[in-house]
């Protein structure tokens, strides 16, 4: 069965600090996809990144970077030089393809990030 763990429930940092959000997943499939979503106070989940299980290259997008390590089943998310606007709940998610169901998509419990001015 698929499972996503985000051990950090809440993190507080001061603006301009770097912060890493951890994500550990469990799956028996060899083909799967990992996602990060952001949920700001407005409540809408916003897609940030998708990574497939065959691509372990790290990715950087502006102040955001992602580190995927299959050996440790982790897909961690780092925000460099954090800003107050980064304050939100961040969810890691795992998706497995299923021929019958199309897609099994499971979220972790989320990490609440507070960036203080």
Partner 1 sequence: EAGVAQSPRYKIIEKRQSVAFWCNPISGHATLYWYQQILGQGPKLLIQFQNNGVVDDSQLPKDRFSAERLKGVDSTLKIQPAKLEDSAVYLCASSPVGAGGSGANVLTFGAGSRLTVL
* Footprint of partner 1 (CB under 8 A): 4, 31-33, 35, 37, 42-47, 50, 52, 91, 95-110
Distances (CA, A) of 73 to 13, 30, 32: 26, 12, 12
Taking the least distance from each CB to partner 1, the nearer of 15 and 45 is 45
Helix ranges (H only) for the chain are: none
Task: Decide: 106 and 5 in contact? Cβ < 8 Å.
Answer: no
Rounded Cα distance, 47 and 37, in Å:
5
In whole angstroms, how close is the CB of 81 to partner 1 at the nearest point? 27
Of the pair 37, 68, the CB lying nearest partner 1 is at 37
CB of 9 to partner 1, least distance (A): 8
Q: Residue 19 or residue 51: which is nearer to partner 1 going by CB?
A: 51
* CA dihedral sign, ordered 108, 56, 76, 91: negative
Is the CB of 43 or the CB of 117 nearer to partner 1?
A: 43
Q: Min. distance of Cβ 76 from partner 1 in angstroms? A: 17
Q: How far apart are CA 113 and CA 56, in angstroms?
A: 25
Query: Minimum distance between the CB of residue 103 and partner 1, rounded to whole angstroms?
Result: 5
Residue pointed to by tokens 């304050």: 87
């Amino acid at each position: 069965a698929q499972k996503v763990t985000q051990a950090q429930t809440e993190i507080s940092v001061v603006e301009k600090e770097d912060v890493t959000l951890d994500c550990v997943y469990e799956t028996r499939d060899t083909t799967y996809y990992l996602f990060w979503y952001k949920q700001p106070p407005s409540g809408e989940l916003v897609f940030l990144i998708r990574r497939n299980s065959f691509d372990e290259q790290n990715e950087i997008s502006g102040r955001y970077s992602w580190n995927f390590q299959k050996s440790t089943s982790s897909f961690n998310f780092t925000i460099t030089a954090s800003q107050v606007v980064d304050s939100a709940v961040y969810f890691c998610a795992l998706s497995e393809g299923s021929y019958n169901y199309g897609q099994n998509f499971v979220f972790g419990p989320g990490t609440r990030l507070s960036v203080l001015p």
